[in-house]
Amino acid sequence: MAELNISERQSGDVTILDMDGKITIGEGSVALRSAVRRLLEEGKKKILLNLAKVGYIDSSGIGELVSSYTAINKDGGELKLLNLTQKLQDLLTITKLLTVFDVYESEADALASFK
């Protein structure tokens, strides 16, 4: 089984990536990067990452979230995060990145927040 499985859904012009597994150095980080870059190439710039089933993330994975956020913003898009686990929320808090990312607990609220 892959370290990180990513399923894609569409809701209007928002692409939702349901992520299941670990976002860690190597395969997990690369999978996230590839998915986001591919969406941008397809012109899909409103991206919601559903992290409910991401049980583990390391500094490389957090770096990849930052990299994705920057790449999408640079392309005029928006990246938002949905359903953070408590551990991930704690990591984003201590790194002060919780103030950077737009984070939601409800998919409906997250979808409504896109411009």
Partner 1 sequence: MVLEWPCLFLVTQATTELRFASRIEAVDQAATAVAEFLSGAGVSEDVIFGVDMAVREAVTNAVLHGNKLDETKFADVSLKSSPGSFEITVHDQGQGFNPADIPDPTTEENIMKTSGRGIFFMRNFMDEVDWTINPKGGTTVRMLKKL
Angle, to 10 degrees, between the axis of helix 27-41 and the axis of helix 59-74?
A: 10
Take residue 64 and report the two structure tokens written for it: 């990849």
Q: 8 - beta bridge partners?
A: 17
89 binds partner 1 (CB under 8 A): no
Q: Minimum Å distance from CB 106 to partner 1?
A: 26
Residues 57-86 that bind partner 1 (CB under 8 A): 58-60, 62-64, 66-67, 69-70
Amino acid at 44: K
106 binds partner 1 (CB under 8 A): no
Q: Minimum Å distance from CB 82 to partner 1?
A: 21
98 binds partner 1 (CB under 8 A): no
Q: Minimum Å distance from CB 72 to partner 1?
A: 13
Applying CB under 8 A, the site for partner 1 has a residue count of 20
Residues 93, 60 contacting (CB under 8 angstroms): no
- Return d(Cα 41, Cα 1) in angstroms, integer: 27
Cα distances from 59 to residues 8, 26, 29, in angstroms, run 24, 12, 10
2 binds partner 1 (CB under 8 A): no
Residues contributing to the site for partner 1 (CB under 8 A):
24-26, 58-60, 62-64, 66-67, 69-70, 87, 91, 94-97, 100
